[in-house]
Amino acid sequence: MAQKEITRAERFVEAFLESGDAEAAALAAGYSGRRAKRAGEKLLREPAVQTALRQAWKTQPRVYPITEAAILRELSAIAFSDFTDYVRVEDGQAVITESRDLDYSRRAAIAGIKDTGKGVEIKLHDKQKALELLAKYLGMFDREPEAEQTEVRVELSGLEKWAE
């Protein structure tokens, strides 16, 4: 009996279930490093992939990898969130970005969305607290301030925009 060939989308679903990271899952599915971020985001919007993920989550518990990198990625998403990623002004009106157009790091910064009856309210997680936790992690409060500013670069997938 012939063995069924596993598609890239199926490999993506398996890897995403393990990591929860669309870019890492796309890399594991065989997409190149240059295309992985965009491919992962696109795959997450595909109905077949969404269906496969929902079915898998019904039958198996979600496992969240708790690693130092995962925690730093979440804190960085919150700390470096920018409200203009969620709302823009056009012709004097506030226009909210569709949630399907937000990548994982931008969605991670959202604490809640509420329909107020007069409009939609978007609340982001506490940016100041996230910055404080990152500063503590970097040991910034345990030393004397330096005369010159020292640049600290934290390279995390999907957050390149904020690192500059």
Q: Express each pLDDT in 53-86 by its tens digit.
A: 988 888 876 666 678 888 898 999 999 999 888 9
Taking only the tens place, the pLDDT of each residue in 31-55 is: 988 888 899 999 999 999 999 998 8
Q: Domains of the chain by range and CATH?
A: 8-59 (1.10.10.1400), 68-143 (no CATH)
Closest CA to 81 of 19, 1, 159, 7: 159
Residues 128 and 132: their CA atoms lie apart, in Å, by: 6
Q: What is the pTM of this model?
A: 0.52
For residue 28, count other CB atoms closer than 10 A to its CB.
Answer: 19
